[in-house]
Amino acid sequence: MSAPILVFGRTGQVGAVLAAMPGVVALARAEADLADPDACAAAIRTHAPAAVINAAAWTAVDAAEEHAEAAHRINAAAPAAMARAAARLGIPFVQISTDYVFDGTGTRPWAPGDTPAPLGAYGRSKLAGERAVRGAGGCHAILRTSWVFSAHGRNFLTTMLRLGAERERLTVVADQIGGPTPAAAVAHACHAIAHRLIAAPELSGTHHLGGAPDVSWAGFARAILAAADLACEVEDIPTAAWPTPAPRPLNSRLDCSGLEAAFGIPRPDWRAGVAAALAELQGPRP
């Protein structure tokens, strides 16, 4: 029996998809808490996997402003320990990162080689994690993604479905632009990258995956509500009218051409992802 791919973050949006794949061993927080980086490294040594995917993270963007040290431990110290353990075993390590490492200026899609300049504590913690993974010196891939959604958990799609069923009108930010990304697409990309790196470690590097086409949050909300047949109107508002503890990047567009060139993974169509999530929520037909 071949060694498995070890996944951290079994109960998250991406981790739950990975956990259902064959040849994967997925760990929940009770088995490997990212607040304890040494325990995460020990789990890698114990399982001796063929590759490691870290799908766990501190994702509460606003809470990170108040709990920056905890966010850093989970998003930077833990991946650092994992990446070092993987490097010592000579196996690939795949780390999921975020568009929040950029400041969101301009309108051009961010390329992997662009200079990061995070606006808040969450982005700083994820950027520190990226640098630690690279610094570990092993075979690795950093996959930056944006606006991840699925049928489960707390995310924009599930929030819009809940509020759209309760209200006649919603106000949604219209000047932040990005690519909503189905969690399943992120999971399948990580799985494919991990397998490819086992055979071709020279493909190590940083890549982007964001859904297509680019859209505003307000446009994304309208598409979700229309697909769910919810008669709830969406009013466009600027970011300035919706203040949050952590500043949001206005431009979350990602240049994903490098990922397709290196691994043959194209940008997923988020509209198909919305349809799939709604079908999953409705359950199987009798």
Active site residue 122: yes
- In Å, what is the CA distance from 92 to each residue of 67, 109, 191? 30, 28, 11
DSSP code, position 10: T
Q: Which helix (H) or strand (E) holds 131?
A: helix 121-135
Q: Choose the catalytic residue: 93, 100, 122, 263.
A: 122
Paired tokens of 109:
């899609």
Q: Angle at which helices 183-199 and 270-282 pack, to 10 degrees?
A: 110
d(CA 275, CA 239): 27
List strand residue ranges (DSSP E) for 103-261, in order: 140-145, 148-149, 169-173, 177-178, 181-182, 205-209, 215-216, 233-237, 251-252
- Other C-beta atoms lying within 10 Å of the C-beta of residue 23: 13
Q: Which helix (H) or strand (E) holds 179?
A: none
Q: Which helix (H) or strand (E) holds 16?
A: helix 13-19
Q: Which residues of 188-226 are buried (b: 16+ CB within 10 A; e: fewer)?
A: bbbbebbbbbeeeeeebebbbbbbbebbbbbbbbbbbbe
Find out whether 83 and 34 touch, Cβ atoms under 8 Å.
no
Residue positions annotated with a catalytic role: 122
